[in-house]
C-alpha cells in the first residue's frame, strides 16, 4: 500500500514540476500571444503539404536507361514463377512510366497481366504495343497474344 502511495505522489510531483521546469530551461520558446496576423490559417485542402517525403507521390522523368533496368529486374522476378508475378508487374509498370514509348515494357506488362488472369489489362497493354511499334517483333507477338485472348 505504501509503495502505491509513494509512486502516486511522485507522479503528481513530476506532473506539477514538468511544465515549470520546461519553461525555465527554454525561456526563448515561451509562447507569444497570437495576434490576428500570426493566427494559423486553415490548411489548403486542395494541395495538402507533404510532411514526410517518403509518402509523397513518386515522379517519373523520361529515363530510358532506368526503364531498361526496371525491365531487367522485372525479368528476374518473372523467372521466380507465380510468386514473383506481382513484383515483376510493378517493375514493368515503372518501366512504362520512365519510358512511355517502350514497346518492350508494355509487352511485358501484358504478359504478366495475362499470367495473373487480368485479360482486360493484358489486352490494353498488347494493343498499346501494337500502337507504339506496329512493325516490331513485340507487335507480332502481341497480335498472337491478342488472338489467344479472344
Structural domain spans, the chain = 64-149
CA 21, CA 38: separation in Å to the nearest integer?
27
29 has pLDDT over 90: no
Confidence grade of residue 18 (pLDDT, cut at 50, 70, 90): low
| pTM (whole model) above 0.85 | no
Residues 46-78 pLDDT 10s: 766 666 777 777 889 999 999 999 999 999 999
CB atoms within 10 A of CB 69: 15
Confidence grade of residue 8 (pLDDT, cut at 50, 70, 90): confident
Architecture of the 64-149 domain: Alpha Horseshoe (1.25)
For the chain, the first-to-last Cα distance in angstroms comes to: 80
pLDDT at 38: 56
pLDDT at 57: 79
126 has pLDDT over 80: yes
Confidence grade of residue 21 (pLDDT, cut at 50, 70, 90): low
Q: What is the mean pLDDT of the chain?
A: 84
CA 88, CA 70: separation in Å to the nearest integer?
9
Amino acid at each position: 500500500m505504501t509503495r502505491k502511495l509513494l509512486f502516486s505522489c511522485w507522479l503528481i510531483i513530476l506532473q506539477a514540476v514538468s511544465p515549470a521546469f520546461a519553461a525555465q530551461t527554454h525561456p526563448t520558446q515561451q509562447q507569444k500571444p497570437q495576434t490576428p496576423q500570426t493566427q494559423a490559417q486553415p490548411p489548403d485542402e486542395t494541395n495538402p503539404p507533404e510532411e514526410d517525403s517518403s509518402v509523397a507521390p513518386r515522379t517519373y522523368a523520361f529515363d530510358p536507361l532506368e526503364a531498361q533496368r526496371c525491365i531487367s529486374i522485372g525479368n528476374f522476378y518473372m523467372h521466380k514463377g507465380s510468386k514473383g508475378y506481382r513484383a515483376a508487374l510493378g517493375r514493368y509498370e515503372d518501366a512504362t512510366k520512365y519510358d512511355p514509348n517502350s514497346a518492350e515494357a508494355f509487352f511485358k506488362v501484358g504478359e504478366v497481366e495475362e499470367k495473373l488472369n487480368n485479360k482486360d489489362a493484358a489486352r490494353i497493354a498488347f494493343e498499346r504495343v501494337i500502337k507504339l511499334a506496329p512493325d516490331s517483333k513485340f507487335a507480332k507477338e502481341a497480335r498472337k497474344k491478342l488472338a489467344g485472348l479472344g
